[in-house]
Amino acid sequence: MTSLAVETRGLAKRFEAVEAVRSLDLAVRDGDMFALVGPDGAGKTTTIRMLCGLVPPTAGEAKVLGLDLRREAAEIRTRIGYLSQRFSLYGDLTVDENIEFAAEIHLVRDYRKRREELLEFTRLTPFRGRLADRLSGGMRQKLALACTLVHTPRLVFLDEPTTGVDPVSRRDFWAILSALLRSGTTIVMATPYMDEAERASAVGLLAGGRLLAAGTPGEVKSLMRGTVVEIVCPEIRKAFGVLKALAGIREVQLFGDRLNAVVDDPAREIPRIESALAAEGIPVLGTRRLPPSLENVFISVTESARSEAAHA
C-alpha cells in the first residue's frame, strides 16, 4: 500500500469574514506530483502555507510526512522545502552565497558538495558568482529552487513557481522538476496553468476555497459534462458571438483560428451550429470531437457546483 506524504481532513482557514479554504480533504501519495489548480483567490497559497506549518488552520486536521500539523508544525518545517510565489532570496548576495546562506539556515554544515550538485542540477554553475539581483526571472526561480532543496527534503511545496517566467525557462524548470520526481521527491505545486497540471500524477481543482474534484488527470476529466467539438471556420470572432448566443451550447472558447464548443449531443448540435453560422454567411470548414482538457473540466465542474449551490 502506497504511503501518503500529505493527508488532510476538513482543513479550513478563515480570515475574519473570508473563508479562504473550506473543509479540504486531500491525499497526496509519496513520490507523486500533486497539482493544486485554480484561479487567483481560489485558496491555493493559503492551503500550501497551512501545510508548511506557516499559517495555523481554523479547523480540521492534517498530517505531513506522518507528522501532525497542529502539534508538530516546527518539525514539519525542517523536513520540507517551500518555494513561495515571491523571490525571497537576497539580491545583494551571489548565487553561491544564497545557497550557502540557505544551508546555514537549515543547519547543513557540510554544504559544499551539495551546492555543487544543485548548481549542476539547475544549470546555474556558469552564473555562481553573479548577484541574484542580476539574474533573469527564470534563473531566479532556479536559484530559489536550489535553496529550497539544499537540505534534501522528501517533500517540496511550490507556489506558482513558473508565473512570470519566460517559455524557455519554464521548460527548463519542468525538466528539473521531472528529474526531482525521478529521485523520489514528492512535489505539491500550486498553479493557475491547466497545461502544467496535465503533467502531474494527480490534480485537485480548487475554486472559492473548495476542492471541486481530485484524482489523476484522467479521473478528473471523466467528470466532464458534455463533449468538446472543434469548429474551423472564417470570421472566427463573429462566429464566436453567434455560438455564444445559440441555445443548447454549454461553453464556447476561442483558440486561434478555431472554436471549441461544449455540447451535450454532438450528432444533434453540430448541424444546428452549422445552420446558425450559415445563416450569418459563415461556412464551416470542418468539425471534429476532441477529448476534454482540464480547462474544459474546470469550467464544467465549476458551473455544476454553482448550479448545485443555487438549488440547495
> What tens digit of pLDDT does each residue of 113-135 get?
999 999 999 999 999 999 999 99
Burial 22-58 (b: 16+ CB within 10 A, else e): bebebbbbebbbbbbbbeeebbbbbbbbbbbbebebe
Residue 103, CA distances (Å) to 93, 123, 152 in order: 14, 19, 10
Residue 311 pLDDT grade (very low, low, confident, very high; cuts 50, 70, 90): low
pLDDT reading at 9 higher than 60: yes
Structural domains in the chain plus CATH codes: 4-221 (3.40.50.300), 227-291 (3.30.70.100)
For the stretch 238-253, pLDDT in tens is: 999 999 999 989 999 9
Q: What is the percentage of the chain residues whose pLDDT exceeds 70?
A: 97
Q: Name the least confident of 12-26, 170-184, 262-276, 282-296.
A: 170-184
Say how far apart CA 43 and CA 212 lie, in whole Å: 12
CB atoms within 10 A of CB 264: 12
**Amino acid occupying residue 206:** L
Pairing mode, if any, of strands 155-159 and 33-37? unpaired
